[in-house]
Amino acid sequence: MTNLRRLTSLQIKVIAVLMDCRGHPLWELADILGVKKNNLLTNVMYPLLAMGIVEKAPPRPTTRTASLHPGKTEIPYILSTKSNCLESAWWCLLARDHELQAEKSKIFATMQASGFIPENYARRLTDIDREVTQIGKQMKALTILKENLRVLSEDEKEYLDILEELRLSNLSKTEFNEIFESLELNT
């Protein structure tokens, strides 16, 4: 199984996009996120599929308006409601945060004992602080997404009504980017 604590910001962005319950084909996700389809498939979708966070929906006629093949089918990706993967991912991020804090404490103890800070320790402390900050942002985003998924799994109709009421059911690329920014995922 893929290491859940290594969710990337891009993977969390995909989860956020899929929260609208519409199902998005790979070409649409790539367009919304501004990444190449091959990179998205290899680095994001395959791991999310392996973790059970997303799944493939049944094929449907293409939703691409300017398609050269209007009769062609596409396979949309949807968020899985079968398991509690977002909860697991959140706890794994918390565990990683504790590992980093422990490593940071060891470095500080070593520095205190020796009275100086070697350059490699200083670099590692900077890396740890950066990763801890990123983990905090990911945990915040996952907390919000977990709550949305809980409502979705309890009553899909109510969830879809809420999305419609909040005008979150047919977002543009710009609107998704605003959501990513509010979740602090635009790093």
Q: Look at strands 73-74 and 24-25 and give their pairing.
A: unpaired
Distance CA 10, CA 186 (A): 9
CA 88 to chain centre: 13
Could you read off the pLDDT of 138-181 as tens digits, one per residue? 787 777 777 776 776 676 666 666 555 554 545 566 766 666 66
Domain parsing of the chain, residue ranges: 4-182
pLDDT tens, residue by residue, 74-132: 999 988 766 566 776 777 778 888 888 999 998 888 888 888 878 888 898 999 898 88
Reported as a single tens digit per residue, the pLDDT across 16-52 is: 788 777 789 999 999 988 999 999 999 999 998 888 8
For the chain, how long is the longest CA-to-CA vector?
Answer: 71
pTM, 2 dp:
0.65
